[in-house]
Structure 1
Amino acid sequence: MQSLHAGLGQALADFHREHPGVTVRLRQAPGGDVPQTLRDGILDLAVVALDTPHLRGLTTRLLTKEEMVLVTAPTTGSPPSGQPVTLAETARLPLVDFPRGWAIRHEVDKAFRSASLERATTFEVNDVLTAVDLVRHGLGVCIVPQSLAARFPELPVRPFTAHAPAWTVRVVHPRGDLPPAVAALLRRIRVNDPARRREPAPRRS
């Protein structure tokens, strides 16, 4: 993911201090590619936006779950930050969107389908900073997780009245015993996430 799990950097830094002889290789990849890459043994674990806790042959643990919000430009006469907005109102605004295949785009598309609404994408960009810059200049609005919106406090944030897209982040790894280094890093990722929640253990398949 692109900078959407705040606890990961701290977890990696703590792990590196405790285990300086272990090299951790990190890469970003489309979320849809992750499960099979884990099953094939190419990855040891992944932090991924994933709305299902059940994946064949894999174990998942919930890290964070939150609603997405609408980020708007700080212009005079705009509704104040915190004022609720509907998806129908949002559909009539110029929308800064992300490409298909992105987890944010998937959840936003799903929310509009659930509300039986169609929308037009005015801008489609593949990085968060460009999306925010377009919003900052008043060219459009953007739907993002609350935790991401909080990184740009100058931009007004409006919650949705209903059908808010959900943002769910999980850590995923193959079932069974993990190599010691992987298990140690996994413990760090869980410790460094302040918003982790408990959920039922995944079914075996």
Structure 2
Amino acid sequence: MELRQLEHFVAVAEEQHFTRAAERLAVSQSGLSASVRALEQELRAPLFSRTTRSVRLTEAGQALLVEAERTLAGARAARDAVDAVRGLLRGTLTLGVEQCVAGVSPARLLGAFRREHPHMEIRLRQEGTSSLLEGVAGGRLDLAFAATVSPPEWRGDLVPLAREPMVVLCAPGHPLAATGTRPVAWSALDGESFIDFHPDWGPRRAADEAFAAAGVRRTVALEVSDVHSLLELVHQGLGIAVVPHHFSRKPEARGLVTVEVDGAEPAVYRSVVVLPPAGTMSPGARALMALVREAPVR
């Protein structure tokens, strides 16, 4: 079993398509197919269920994918460590970002990183909190900027970035807008129509936890996957949104009314850097974390 074969296998598993995987790896499709077949023959098990329209992992393929990602991550870390000793920072930095992260600007950080380490390849994945945690744990990501409410048991580090309250955003004509600067109780939101993100996004998890703690049930009528859409729907009076306070400072939120929520336990949104277990952080991740610690909080 060769690293090249594992790279081919992981690419097909991620793309779920041999042609796209071959294009991504810049190899011929016939060569890629032959590499995967040779791997299946060596393991004596089919790794993919193939049809004319789709490619799916078999049970054996799912088991191999976890170990293949770890093996490839270890190989990359080994190469990066040798380059670091030689005074070079090469290789690939793969990081994940949740779009609603607060306390740091990933774009500005990566710009500074590229200027300091021009020979490093940067790969960015935007995903939800659960996927980011799984990605770092499995070695698919070197580190991640994520949102977390109650951090799960984690073998690595969760480095705090920001902590802020959750607030309500509503259109000027909504009854809640008449409360002025007075906070409202969670119970006052009962029966409202809510606009929110998909369940895996950090702000949604924070809001869900806050409503559960207050004993208030709610229905998310409109579910989106980006901040712009959420704020536009609130502008149109289609519902209200419970979001981290920094959303109210976005240009797209201009004209919306911000209402604080009063409760026995304040609803808090936290942003963190998700790091792998001690001793396994790549040189690229260490270099990026050095910039994170130098960056001013935004």
The TM tier, using the shorter chain, reads 0.7 to 0.9
> Which secondary structure state, in structure 2, belongs to the residue aligned with residue 23 of structure 1?
strand
Pick one of 36, 41, 59 that aligns with 2:134. Answer: 36
- RMSD after superposition: 2.1
Alignment-mate amino acid for residue 162 of structure 2: T
Change (3 A) 1:106 1:76: closer
Change (3 A) 1:108 1:3: closer
Number of the residue aligned with 1:159: 260
Pick one of 192, 195, 216 that aligns with 1:117. Answer: 216
1:12 aligns with 2:110: yes
Structure having the higher Rg: 2
Cα pair 2:145 2:274 within 8 Å, conserved: yes
1:45 aligns with 2:143: yes
Change (3 A) 1:83 1:101: same
For the residues of structure 2 that align with 1:69 and 1:184, how far apart are their CA atoms?
35
> Which secondary structure state, in structure 2, belongs to the residue aligned with residue 144 of structure 1?
strand
Number of the residue aligned with 1:182: 285
Q: Greater shift after overlay, 13-22 or 177-186?
A: 177-186
Kindly tell me the number of residue pairs found equivalent between the two proteins.
195
> Which secondary structure state, in structure 1, belongs to the residue aligned with residue 221 of structure 2?
strand
Q: Identical aligned pairs, as a percentage?
A: 28
1:191 aligns with 2:289: no
Cα pair 1:10 1:192 within 8 Å, conserved: no
- Unmatched tracts of structure 2, length 5 or more: 1-97
Cα pair 2:197 2:223 within 8 Å, conserved: yes
From the two aligned structures, give the one with the greater helix fraction.
2
> Which secondary structure state, in structure 2, belongs to the residue aligned with residue 66 of structure 1?
strand
TM-score, normalising length: structure 2:
0.60
Alignment-mate amino acid for residue 191 of structure 1: E
Cα pair 2:196 2:223 within 8 Å, conserved: yes
TM-score, normalising length: structure 1:
0.85
Change (3 A) 1:19 1:81: farther
Cα pair 1:87 1:160 within 8 Å, conserved: yes
> Which secondary structure state, in structure 2, belongs to the residue aligned with residue 56 of structure 1?
coil
Change (3 A) 1:41 1:117: same
Change (3 A) 1:53 1:4: closer
> Which secondary structure state, in structure 1, belongs to the residue aligned with residue 233 of structure 2?
helix
For the residues of structure 2 that align with 1:88 and 1:24, how far apart are their CA atoms?
46
